[in-house]
Structures are given as structure tokens and as C-alpha cells.
Amino acid sequence: MVYFNNAATTYPKPAAVYEAMDEYYRNNAGSLGRGGKEMKSAGTLVADTRQLLKELLHTSLHEVIFTPTATLALNMIIQGLMKRPVKNVYITPFEHNAVTRVLHAYADKINLRILAVNKDCSFDLERIGYQFADCQPDLVIMSHASNVIGVITPVAEVFALAKKYEAITVVDMAQTAGLVDFDIAKAKCDFAVFAGHKTLYGPTGISGFLMNPDVELPTILYGGTGIDSANQDMPKDIPARYEMGTPNMVAIAGLHAALMKLKENNISSYYWQEQDNRKHLLDVLNNYDFVRLVGINNNLDYVGVVSFIIDGISSDSAGQLFSRLGVELRTGLHCAPLAHEFLGTYPAGTIRTSVGIYTNEEDLLRLNDSLYYIKSNL
Amino acid sequence: MVYFNNAATTYPKPAAVYEAMDEYYRNNAGSLGRGGKEMKSAGTLVADTRQLLKELLHTSLHEVIFTPTATLALNMIIQGLMKRPVKNVYITPFEHNAVTRVLHAYADKINLRILAVNKDCSFDLERIGYQFADCQPDLVIMSHASNVIGVITPVAEVFALAKKYEAITVVDMAQTAGLVDFDIAKAKCDFAVFAGHKTLYGPTGISGFLMNPDVELPTILYGGTGIDSANQDMPKDIPARYEMGTPNMVAIAGLHAALMKLKENNISSYYWQEQDNRKHLLDVLNNYDFVRLVGINNNLDYVGVVSFIIDGISSDSAGQLFSRLGVELRTGLHCAPLAHEFLGTYPAGTIRTSVGIYTNEEDLLRLNDSLYYIKSNL
């Protein structure tokens, strides 16, 4: 089995992540803020992990909030903001169901608009300026990179326009945190969501968001925080206000190791390694006439996610075929139906291949072999 | 450091749990329903884990829903039910902030009542019958065991009364699942919440609830489910309807190993081992006149959680002292202020010691030494 499904979760993780998790868990009960002496070492680990995330995203302003998944982070942000007078909401055509399904639950309350993007996947900043002037944005949510085609979106440029209207800004960095070097303070992001188990190369079970503490975010989830227990409201303090329930210390230990490794190697080495692997992936796919790439524009930047279709074979059938041939990838809508409507690949979807920093020559050879087999049997 | 904080999270876990997690994570990307061939083995592991939980709780009727924490499970259940015409809500005086803070957010909507419990911690079933007749219950939520004093509550008896009024019933088994043998079908529990990392001896990051699928539970969280992606509502199917975002496969692998171990050893062996350790703990504590046990009634059943106060020392000071003496325990309100109001230990709280199945003689000796030291220095 060779692995081309890194956009779902990166695999493998750095060895240091497995080691840190196993070692931490065997040696620590680690129930943060819920014990005596233990508290200190767990507390230090958590504080250090928050600090590494702030450094990674070039901010001293934002607070770091941990959540079990990026989906929960987006629920807390979007549903929290929905308790405020937020009406006009703009999103890109590339948003994941973790954004669009949440917004759909508020369809009666909001006025949802799609940012102007050209057919070639470039953002039309001039037209977006007119959109905002015509209908002033209260909230703008952007995927930093599409999980379907990998295109990196001009977050800083769009948010600069949005901030003229004092809109609240949210960037979903599930496909970019730890991979694309990005200054969330300079880009005027009020909220930046990360997924620990994707481009950060940490484990599942730990994700979260960075928030501008000057933006009022009402709470939507409640529970024990290990502090201020007599108060039946959630504590005022950030991050405690948004972190209820037992923290996933073993996952934080894994994420900490991943972030230390990333800092040691430098984010640009991860980025260029993945870019290199993406180039090799495109070389393989371009060998075959029956492969039709989707959403590629050579003037834009991409992360290592490439979607394609094969003429005459449905995505689902192709998926089963690749699986039989030992290639793990993903087919269908990738939880982003809106993106496929935009790309013209709805409802059948695409075949999605996604590389990581550990994708190697053998993986690419096996993918090539499987395409050769498909060609010979078309 | 000796560990008496098992009510927060059990420690250590069975070696099989550490091994399963490490092995699973090194060998599987494991993004359930989000890849090709991988799906099958991850899918089987998840299905097997659900089945083990159903067997453990003696039910074939309920569906198993995984959540990252028990707190989130309680939010999903309580906040989901709040979208229905639920007005009269009964709870025990022992509820955790994971219940009371959620209900507090709906203070304007509901009529919250406390089930009649005598000062000796026994439930007054006759009086509860009158309470229900006087103000018919729509929803009854009970901790199966108090996380402050460990008393096991008469869930089946109270729910039998509640069901005369067709109330919806929720049992919080955070301190009992996998430890106290309990038939949730016979006890008429519509919802039963478990915490993977507590009495189930699994890892943090995986908890959930079993639900009676005949009870309509509106959704409060939204996101990608890996299936039915074109639908902007959450899928109708249970559990997909309530399981959004990337599943924590490494934690499920750990929980699966914990459940297999539990099945192999039998739940009654865990229960009696812990009872035995509780007895030894009480023997140690009863050696010291200055230790005043809280909420103990010899006619009731308890799990291995014992709260006490020391005359002349605040709980917090005592906590720091125990910590310096190498004993990890927890002091304060334990996220359950209501319980302390009932017990008369609010707002200072108690010193809580909690044993697990792995508590051993050395742990108890060290606890005894620390108490002897405190006695000598009082």
C-alpha cells in the first residue's frame, strides 16, 4: 500500500511524534489542572505547545485554544459569532463541510455570499471590492488552501479589503498550518484554525484555533475547566473559557514533538519538500492522456493536493481500482461539494492524490504502475 | 510520586493500551471513511469497539456515538434536547459542571429541580415519586456515581419512576462505565455517557454515548462526515449524524485494547479489585483522627473515590502539602460545586483520593507516610 491521502491525514508522522506519545503516556497520568504536582509538567507542556504555535504563525497577539478537531474549532468560532449580530457572510467556493454545514444551520439568519473567483481559480480582488461595497461583510471565512485542488488563496489581500468594513476574519489553515509560512497578524486574521494531524504532522485528537482576544466570541459549549469551578458560567479567561473537559495530553505531547521537529527543520524545508513531491506527482499524472487534471493554474501557488478525473471511469470505480492496485487515495466530493460545483465536477467528484513531506520515489513508481495498468485495461 | 487521582483519569493504563496505540499509529494512517483500502481495517476496528461497548452495557438496542470527551457528549445530548419542548429537568445533587454548566446556559428556558436525596446520601424514592407527580419530569439526568464522594446512585429505580411520565433519561457513567456492571437497557436509560480515559482504562481523546435511537436528538454540531457529503444537513444515519470531523483512530485503537482486556478479565474482577483498594484506602484514612471523611454511608455502594477534610488545614494547603510529599490527589470543588453545597463542604471543597485497579501497597504506604508526617507537624 502506498499512501496518497495526506490531505485527509498526513502519514507517517515523524518518529519523534510516536516516541513522544508513547513515552509521555507511559510515564504521566497528565490530567492538566486536575491534579497536584502532575499539573506542573503537563501545564508546562501545554504552555510550550501554545508558544510554538504562536511562533509558527508569527503572532504574539493571538491566544491559542485547543480543541479535539478543527471541525469543532470551526463550530465554536462560527456558531459563537452567530450569537452576535452577524448578517453578511462571505466564503470562498472552496470551503469544507466543516464550514458550509455549520453556516447552513443558520441559513435563515445570514446572507451567505461567495467571494468572486475566476474560472481559472484566481481571486478577482477588484470584483471582491465591489461585492464588499455592495453588501458590507460582517464575517469572511477563507480556506487557506483548497482540500480538493490545493490552490492557495489570497487570504491577506481579501482580509485587507474586508477589514475596511471591520469584518471579522477567519482562516481555515487545515491544509496549510506548518507547511505554508504565514503571518496571521499581518494578514489581519481574527481567527486561524489548525488541524494537528494534517500539515502539522501531529496526531489526531488535537487541533484548535488562534484568536484575536479583542474579538468577542460567545461560548457554545460548556463544562468543567478545572478552574473557577464554583462559577456556573464558563470562566472569563481565555483559553479556559473555550477549553472544557479533560485535555488530550497524550495528543498534546505528540503535537509538541511535531512542532519541535518542524522548528528544527524549518517550515520552508517542509514546504519545498512537498512542492518537490507535488512536481513529481504532476509529472507522473501528466504521462497519461486519459488523466484530466482539475483546477490547475500555473500562475497560482498550490499545496500538494491534486485532483483529476479519468475519462470513461467514474471516480468511485477508479477509487476501487486504485485500492485494489495498492494505492491509497480518496475519491468523491472530499466533504467539499461547493468546490466541485465551482469546478464543474459535481456530483461525481474527483480522484484526489495528495503528497506529504515523506512521499518517496517508490510511492510515485507504484502510482505510475497503477496508472499504466489502468491505461492498458481501458 | 504515587497516584491517587484516578477519578480524573485512570493511571496507569493496561500495557496493552499503550502497545495498541503505538503499533496502530506507526502502521496505519487510519483516516476512517476518508481513504481507500485503509477504510476497511479502520472501519472494522471502530465497529468492533462499538460492539464491545454495547456488550459491556448489556444492550442491543442502543447506538454507540463516539465523541472526543464525555463533556462534549453531554453537550450534544443536553443542548440537542433543549431544541425540543423540554421544560422540567431533574438532576442529582452530585452532577458535574459538564451537566450543570450546560443546563445553566438554558436557565431561562427550563425549570431545574434537584432529586430528593437525604443528608446521608441515600435517595428518597418516595419523595422523588411525589416530586415527579407534582412537577412532571421531561428530562432526568443522573451521575451514576459521584466524582466527589464515589456514591453509586439508584439510577434504575429513579428512571423507572421517571418513565411513568415518559421522561427522557440520561445517565453519566464517567465514573462507572467498565467498572460497575450495569444494564442500560433494563435501567431504561435513553442516553448513557462514558469517558474512555476513566474507568474504561482507555486513552484520553475518546469518549461518547450510547443512545436509544427512538429518541429524537437534534444536532448541535456540524461538519464533514466522510459520507453523504453533498447533503448540507447532517446525514440522517446514526452514528454519522453525530460524528463530524476526523475520528481519533489512535485513541479508538487504545480504547479497543482496553475493552478487550476488560472482557478478558471480566468487569467483576475490576470492580472487586477497586473495592478492595477502596477498603485499604479507608483503612489508611481511618488511622488518623484529624481526617474527617465526607459523605460516607455504610449502607450504600461506592466506587473508589473518597473525599475528606483535615481540621485546621484548607483543602488547597493540604493539596500543596501532599504534592510536596509525593502524593498526587486533587483538592477543591472537583468541577462539582453543587455536590459540595449538598455535602456542606462549599466553597472550600475537599481533599479527594481516588484509587484504581492498579493502586498498590506501596501507594497506600506512601499515603500513610504523608498523613503521618502531617499529623506530626499539625
Cell numbers found for residue A339? 468546490
Write down the pLDDT at residue A213: 98
Write down the pLDDT at residue A378: 78
Q: What is the mean pLDDT of residues B281-304?
A: 97
- Residues B154, B142 contacting (CB under 8 angstroms): no
- Residues B302, B152 contacting (CB under 8 angstroms): yes
Write down the pLDDT at residue B37: 41
ipTM given for this complex: 0.95
Write down the pLDDT at residue A30: 54
Write down the pLDDT at residue A311: 87
Nearest CA in chain B to A100: B232
Considering chain B, tell me which residue range(s) the CATH 3.40.640.10 domain(s) occupy.
Answer: 15-265
Cell numbers found for residue A12? 507517517
Strand pairing category for B191-195 and A350-354? unpaired
- Is there a contact between B12 and A1 if contact means CB atoms under 8 Å apart? no
For chain B positions 318-357, those within 8 Å of chain A (CB to CB) are 319-320, 322-323, 326-337, 346-347
Cell numbers found for residue B52? 464491545
Which of A78, A133, A64 has the alpha carbon at shortest distance from A110? A78
Tens-digit pLDDT profile for residues A64-106: 999 999 999 999 999 999 999 999 999 999 999 999 999 999 9
Write down the pLDDT at residue A226: 87
Tens-digit pLDDT profile for residues A28-38: 765 544 444 44
Considering chain A, tell me which residue range(s) the CATH 3.90.1150.10 domain(s) occupy.
Answer: 2-10+266-376
- Residues A144, A173 contacting (CB under 8 angstroms): yes
Q: What is the mean pLDDT of residues B335-356?
A: 96
Q: What residues in A contact B29, CB-CB < 8 Å? A: 3, 5, 8-9, 11-12, 328
Residues 6+ apart with CB under 8 A from A288: A371, A375
What are the strands, taking DSSP E only, across B132-282? 139-143, 168-172, 191-195, 207-211
What is the DSSP secondary structure assignment for residue A375, as one 8-state letter?
Answer: H
Considering chain B, tell me which residue range(s) the CATH 3.90.1150.10 domain(s) occupy.
Answer: 2-10+266-377
Residues 6+ apart with CB under 8 A from A92: A114, A115, A117, A123, A141, A142, A143, A146, A153
Answer yes or no: is pLDDT of B31 > 90: no
Using the Cβ of A43 and the Cβ atoms of chain B, whether some distance falls under 8 Å is answered with no
- Is there a contact between A229 and B100 if contact means CB atoms under 8 Å apart? no
Strand pairing category for A2-3 and A327-328? parallel
Nearest CA in chain A to B4: A35
The ranges of chain A with pLDDT < 70 are 29-40
Question: How far apart are alpha carbons A102 and A88 in whole angstroms?
Answer: 15
Tens-digit pLDDT profile for residues B244-286: 999 999 999 999 999 999 999 999 999 999 999 999 999 999 9
Using the Cβ of A224 and the Cβ atoms of chain B, whether some distance falls under 8 Å is answered with yes
Q: What residues in B contact A11, CB-CB < 8 Å? A: 28-29
Q: What residues in B contact A252, CB-CB < 8 Å? A: none
Which of A86, A91, A100, A188 has the alpha carbon at shortest distance from A143? A91
Question: How far apart are alpha carbons B32 and B60 in whole angstroms?
Answer: 24
For chain B positions 145-184, those within 8 Å of chain A (CB to CB) are none
Answer yes or no: is pLDDT of B243 > 80: yes
pLDDT-derived band at B311, boundaries 50, 70, 90 = confident
Write down the pLDDT at residue A338: 95
SS3 B152: strand
Answer yes or no: is pLDDT of B135 > 70: yes
Express as a percent the part of chain B with pLDDT over 70.
97
Answer yes or no: is pLDDT of B38 > 60: no
CATH of region B2-10+266-377: 3.90.1150.10
Q: Which fold would CATH assign to domain A2-10+266-376?
A: Aspartate Aminotransferase, domain 1 (3.90.1150)
Of the candidate CATH numbers 3.30.830.10, 3.40.50.720, 3.40.630.30, 3.40.640.10, the domain formed by A15-265 belongs to: 3.40.640.10
The 10 Å CB-count burial string (b at 16+, else e) for B57-85 is: bebeebbbbbbbbbbbbbbbbbbbbbeee
